[in-house]
Amino acid sequence: MNVVTRFPPSPTGFMHIGNAKTALYNWLFAKHHGGKFLVRIEDTDRKRYSEEAVTAILKGLEWLELDYDGEVISQFSNQERHREIAKQLVANGKAYYCYCSKEELKEMREKAISEGHNTFYDRRWRDRDPSKAPEGIKPVIRIKAPLDGSTTIKDHVQGNITINNKTLDDFIILRSDGTPTYMLSVVVDDFDMGVTHIIRGDDHINNAFRQKIIFDAMQWPVPEFVHCSLIHGSDGGKFSKRHGATSVEEYKEMGYLPEAMRNYLLRLGWSHGNDEIISTDKAIEWFNLEGIGKSASRFDFKKLENLNSHYIKIKDSKELLELVRPFYNKRHNIELSKIAEERILANSEELQSRAKTLLQFCDESVFYAKSSPITYDEKANKLLDEKGKESLKALLNAFTSLTDFTAENIQNACKDIANNLHEGKLGKVAMPLRAAITGTTVSPSVFHASEILGFEETSARIQAAIEHNKIV
């Protein structure tokens, strides 16, 4: 099967997480069949067009690592082709010029509303001779929709969907100013691009019936339809800003990995038995249309976070550090030195086992990139009271007698001081030590961290903490 899919976003804003799911499914299906995944920017609405939005969409695809075939196609640049098809449809008797005035259309609309009809245009120009057209009216071109019977759409997810053709109107395919409408442009572009499968949200089902009219009128093969469920928020409502981050860029800035996002979006509407963690290679191998669920899925940040944690754990430590690197500067205004990189990599296994996001990895390892004296957050500051300093002074003395500055020896020294000063309560020693060397109360093993920092740097930080007098 020669599969061609397309991702056709409108460049009017950021890349929504729902767009990302649509792009992923189209990409996976094309990859699974060795086909093509194309990108088309549906930019015919020039009033809402945004170059920044186009950039955001392409950056979103790049971050998600969804590579596409060929050049990005601009729908706007194909307008002449769309106009040609509209006129060809008129010539073939499948469409017609409509010369209705604004006032006439308004009257028809008001009448339809009062009578409870779904459509309002009364098709008065469908079979009328254009020679009778009034002066001063620039016509639109309308498609000839079927007048009776029914139309059935065969959908891979929704099944067969049938509607009464009386609910279809003779919609406009070319406006009076010569610009094509969305319905026409989409069909022409899909045909010209050789699209075989239209995979999109189920909010486009109604469009499918109208687009089929144009495909049939041109005697073009109708692509196979795959209308997937939309993403809902935790409360069951349509996923929006009130539920949390909605753009792909936001998730990148929140420290999520693209492979975690791909895995999560894949499972948010598609299943393969009970498998939850699915690598990209396996996703390409397994992806099929039969696995797409019909019901809407609720976005669960906890599940995404758990998946992200998994992918952080298995990531190559050096590769992960490169991904985290920008956050040190953004969040802490720190450029990593060579010694900082070495320290972080030395503790990477533990840091990766703890981190749920790249932000957490950054925040819990940034102390390695600092040098004495360091700053202390509010909670760390409280630990550096007189009792805390007493423990630190004892530690400083104990450390000088250690022949090997290892995590095990450091922990034993802390235990001895805890037994002597705090009735064996290790936290009374370990917590002030953590505050002294990290400036926080959350970090990897303080004993291992001390070993990585080394005797001199650890001692310097302890001494600075002892001299610190800004106690809350």
The question of whether 241 is a catalytic residue gets the answer yes
Name the helix (H) or strand (E) containing 145.
none
User: b/e map of 119-147 (b: 16 or more CB within 10 Å)?
Assistant: bbbbbebeeeeeeeeeeeeebbbbbbbee
Could you give the CA distance from residue 290 to residue 444 in angstroms, rounded to a whole number?
Answer: 45
State the catalytic residue, choosing from 138, 154, 241, 379: 241
User: Dmax of the chain from CA atoms?
Assistant: 107
Could you give the CA distance from residue 148 to residue 155 in angstroms, rounded to a whole number?
Answer: 22
Could you give the CA distance from residue 208 to residue 169 in angstroms, rounded to a whole number?
Answer: 14
Could you give the CA distance from residue 436 to residue 440 in angstroms, rounded to a whole number?
Answer: 8
User: b/e map of 33-52 (b: 16 or more CB within 10 Å)?
Assistant: bebbbbbbbbbbeeeebeee
Could you give the CA distance from residue 258 to residue 267 in angstroms, rounded to a whole number?
Answer: 14
What are the Cα distances from residue 18, in Å, to 57, 156, 256, 308? 12, 19, 17, 19
Sequence-separated contacts (24+) of 132-135 with Cβ below 8 Å: 133/97, 133/99, 134/99, 134/101
My answer on whether omega of the bond before 258 falls inside 30° of 0, hence cis, is no
Could you give the CA distance from residue 48 to residue 273 in angstroms, rounded to a whole number?
Answer: 43
DSSP assignment string, 211-237: HHHHHHHTTPPPPEEEEEPPEE-TTSS
Please state whether beta strands 36-41 and 4-7 pair in parallel, antiparallel, or not at all (unpaired): parallel
Active site residues: 241
